[in-house]
Chain A
Amino acid sequence: MLPFEEKIDRLLSMPPYGLPPEERQSGLLDLLKDELDYASGRHAGYKNFIQHWPTDFRAATRVADLPFLPVGVLKANPPLCFVNPEEIKRTLTSSSTTSQVPSRVVLDSPTARRMTKGTVSIVRDFIGSDRRPYLVVDTPGYMGTGELGARGAAIQGLQPFASEVTYCLSSGGQGDLQLDLERLKQFSQDHQNAEVLVYGFTFILWNHLVKPLLAEGISLNLPKARILHSGGWKRLQDQAVEKKVFDEKLAGVFGCSADRIVDFYGMVETVGVIYPDCSAGNKHGPVFGDVIVRDPLTLEPVAAGGHGIVQVCSILPTSFPGHLLLTEDLAQVIAYDGCLCGRRGVSFRFAGRVPKAELRGCGNLDSKRSAKN
């Protein structure tokens, strides 16, 4: 057991959004320092990075002053790892297009356990703790064995809220997803007046459930459905589907109100800490994690209202360097406390991905001429 495991458990057992910012900072700062110290002893390269950070992390007075890594370093293969190979329980991989290298994070048992606890703590705050029938808008095959992708991790993360699990998609012969309408109708009939949990990736919900049901004019009549979705909006933006339309249509096919839909942001690199939209339309960091939005010019935290690059912080991982990660996402800080929803701490909204580099002129040669000949 790690010397700071009790501290982690203490934060994990607290209500996730109950602490005022100052108290949250002090608890996180202390623990993150312990974790940085521990991680430095587990990986020579990480120690080298920490030693070259412009300030000594032990003297930091804010979480924002601790050394952070860009999320891109988690694309390393073999993955960056703080545990022995035999301790690795599972490897998570991020979703990525064919042109991108996925991130890989390795989980040992303690990290996996904490991540489950973290997700449960956050989701419970939004939908309550009861177990209920769980409709997964995906295929059971996606869970697979060995490496687990972002979709699988999200599906699995919600299973503690499930009394039973129903998958309503199947894989076609070409590997394409097909709606199993009979199974879906059966689920609907079985649980018409019950609280049910529904989860799917945003674009899968739209393409493989909402669109086919709208085309058939089918409503599932599940007024007590709680629908969670994640995975981002890029593929729906490509189809010019806006969030408001998505919510209306999705609520329509389930026969529930749109306020029962929760969009959350999560990434495998910080699995265990997810960021659901609150009733005010904002996202929040839990007491066992935090969000810092940094000005790209100074890398200092922006003032309330300011935009910048998102850094996520989490005390959960000890098997890989996921404590302090500068993401490739942009966000606006709405307030540092006092969200209308009542949750304490920073509230923020995502503002898209860091734009890819524009044409960078004549200094960007990265392959030799002879290699092209």
Chain B
Amino acid sequence: MTTLSIAEIVQSVDSPAEISAAASKLRQVISAEEITPNEVMNVFDSWAKNLDARELDDLPGIPFLRMWLRRGTLEPIVTRELGSEAPDGGWTEFGRARLRAFPLGIVGHWPAGNVEIQPILSMTCGLLGGNAALVRVPSGLVDLTRILMEKLVQGDLSGRLTRRIFMAAFEHGRQDLQAAMAQAVDGAMIWGGAESILQVRSLPFPHWARVSVFGPRISIAAMDAGAWGNPNGQKTWCLRLARDVWQFDQQACSSPQVLFLERGAGGSTAQFLSNLRQAFETENRAHPRQSIAAVLTSTICQARASWLLNDPSHQAAFPIDPAWTLLVGSGVELPVPTQGKTLTVLEVDDLAEAISKWDGNVQTLGLGMANEEKEKKLALLAGSKGVDRIVKLGRMHVFVPPWDGVDLIRPMVRMVRHVNSTE
């Protein structure tokens, strides 16, 4: 078999027939040959190295993607989710039985349009399970996806992996193309906002198709008084938080939208907020926005104005441009997220009171805590209130399963159980 060019892998499609034809080819490839997770990880590892290029440094999400694609990251995930022998395609002993992962077939990927590397991230999860990938690339992400996929093609000399991929670029509103994609797949990974997820879930999937849904969620940061009140650690915490806000322009489900600060440090939050402002300025200098949708600018201006107009006790800090915004007040209610690097900082008497009001809409709780016992209690409470990830501030986007409470590879494989009949 020959290797595919980037133009063959990432295509603008305009008819359902093109998608059906691509799916048929993918099905031929997966019927003809298996690929083990090890082989996939080898290609991914060289892909990670190819992405370590100066010209890619300014592209969003690249450091994150490089880290994800390394064997050192993926191998523990594969063995945990699929079994210790899974990397080489072996059976893993499980009591008197043995288990082995088999691919579902073709996995369709519907990434969100706002997280630049999500088409790639989602696709890698399905490929690690030995599946073929049929990926819808949102129109705004086509150019970046082509650049990244070019680096994959360069590292997959035999073409064994790239033959299993077809990326279809088309407008979200093309219901005929969405339906053709859904009809062609055996599994689906769907990411995004409520409206888009509902739309994709209603597509005519085969009755056997497995569907994994990620989102819509928001994420929250919280710090106890001992952490934010410690002058020695304030700057570091603020930089960690700023990094979490900056990634993905604060539009990912793992992006913190609100920071709850526990009162009681014996001092005011003024110094902490000053450090937070400096951290935002620093992060903005290092990673300034290159473009913005006019609607986001309007939304940010609206959030700033409403916050200050509605309550004279509210405070805020922001530059004139829409680069970043800090909205400061108090209370346990979650405000409607603005995104676009707009962090609402709310002082509360008790972090547990704020967390106890959540009901499944918070994906990640990023914590900065000095009191270990209190952290354990908060983690238990957060878990019971629907939070799926509780991590240290600065690590809110680290893409390690379980994500949204589910594994990333295992849902898109069949775990086959073999109990030996000869015993």
Contact with A354, one of B114, B294, B359 (Cβ below 8 angstroms): B294
A296-B309 contact in complex given A355-B294, A363-B253, A363-B255, C-beta closer than 8 Å: no
The yes or no answer to A46 lying at the interface (CB within 8 A) is yes
B294, A330: Cβ atoms closer than 8 Å: yes
The yes or no answer to B195 lying at the interface (CB within 8 A) is yes
The yes or no answer to B28 lying at the interface (CB within 8 A) is no
The yes or no answer to A309 lying at the interface (CB within 8 A) is yes
Contact with A52, one of B114, B317, B337 (Cβ below 8 angstroms): B317
* Chain A nearest CB, measured from B405 CB (Å): 13
* Chain B nearest CB, measured from A49 CB (Å): 4
* Chain B nearest CB, measured from A359 CB (Å): 4
The yes or no answer to A340 lying at the interface (CB within 8 A) is no
A370, B252: Cβ atoms closer than 8 Å: no
The yes or no answer to A362 lying at the interface (CB within 8 A) is yes
A49-B193 contact in complex given A55-B320, A363-B250, C-beta closer than 8 Å: no
* Chain B nearest CB, measured from A102 CB (Å): 16
The yes or no answer to B316 lying at the interface (CB within 8 A) is yes
B293, A296: Cβ atoms closer than 8 Å: yes
B310, A45: Cβ atoms closer than 8 Å: yes
B360, A370: Cβ atoms closer than 8 Å: yes
* Chain B nearest CB, measured from A46 CB (Å): 6
The distance in angstroms between the C-alpha atoms of A354 and B289, with both chains bound, is 19
The distance in angstroms between the C-alpha atoms of A366 and B318, with both chains bound, is 23
- Which residues in A have their C-beta under 8 angstroms from that of B194? 364-365
The yes or no answer to B311 lying at the interface (CB within 8 A) is yes
A357-B312 contact in complex given A73-B306, A363-B253, A368-B359, C-beta closer than 8 Å: no
The yes or no answer to B411 lying at the interface (CB within 8 A) is no
The distance in angstroms between the C-alpha atoms of A69 and B113, with both chains bound, is 29
Task: Name B's interface SS.
Answer: loop
A49-B295 contact in complex given A364-B194, A370-B360, C-beta closer than 8 Å: no
The yes or no answer to A273 lying at the interface (CB within 8 A) is no
- Which residues in A have their C-beta under 8 angstroms from that of B257? 363
B255, A365: Cβ atoms closer than 8 Å: no
A298, B321: Cβ atoms closer than 8 Å: yes
Interface string of A315-358 (1 = CB under 8 A from B): 00000000000101010000000000000000000000011111
Q: Which residue of B lies closest to A43 (CB)?
A: B309
The distance in angstroms between the C-alpha atoms of A359 and B138, with both chains bound, is 10
* Chain A nearest CB, measured from B374 CB (Å): 25
Interface string of B380-407 (1 = CB under 8 A from A): 0000001000000000000000000000
A48, B294: Cβ atoms closer than 8 Å: no
**Would you list which residues of chain A between 252 and 300 have a CB under 8 Å from chain B?**
296-300
* Chain B nearest CB, measured from A243 CB (Å): 23
Q: Which of A46, A52, A309, A330 has the most CB of B within 10 A?
A: A52
**Would you list which residues of chain B between 286 and 322 have a CB under 8 Å from chain A?**
289, 291-299, 301-302, 305-306, 308-312, 314-322
Q: Which of B251, B301, B314, B386 has the most CB of A within 10 A?
A: B301
The distance in angstroms between the C-alpha atoms of A300 and B322, with both chains bound, is 11
A364-B113 contact in complex given A54-B320, A298-B321, A359-B172, C-beta closer than 8 Å: no
A361-B302 contact in complex given A52-B317, A297-B289, A368-B361, C-beta closer than 8 Å: no
- Which residues in A have their C-beta under 8 angstroms from that of B246? none
The distance in angstroms between the C-alpha atoms of A49 and B311, with both chains bound, is 10
9-residue interface stretch from B17-25, B55-63, B87-95, B215-223 = B215-223
Q: Which of B218, B322, B337, B361 has the most CB of A within 10 A?
A: B361
* Chain B nearest CB, measured from A105 CB (Å): 15
The yes or no answer to A41 lying at the interface (CB within 8 A) is no
* Chain B nearest CB, measured from A284 CB (Å): 23
The distance in angstroms between the C-alpha atoms of A54 and B297, with both chains bound, is 16
The yes or no answer to A214 lying at the interface (CB within 8 A) is no
The yes or no answer to A44 lying at the interface (CB within 8 A) is yes
Q: Which residue of A lies closest to B300 (CB)?
A: A70
* Chain A nearest CB, measured from B29 CB (Å): 31
The yes or no answer to B270 lying at the interface (CB within 8 A) is no
- Which residues in A have their C-beta under 8 angstroms from that of B360? 368-370
Q: 7 A-B contacts, Cβ less than 8 Å apart?
A: A47-B312, A52-B316, A297-B289, A360-B193, A361-B118, A362-B192, A364-B251
The 4 closest A-B pairs by CB, nearest first: A362-B215, A362-B253, A361-B112, A361-B114
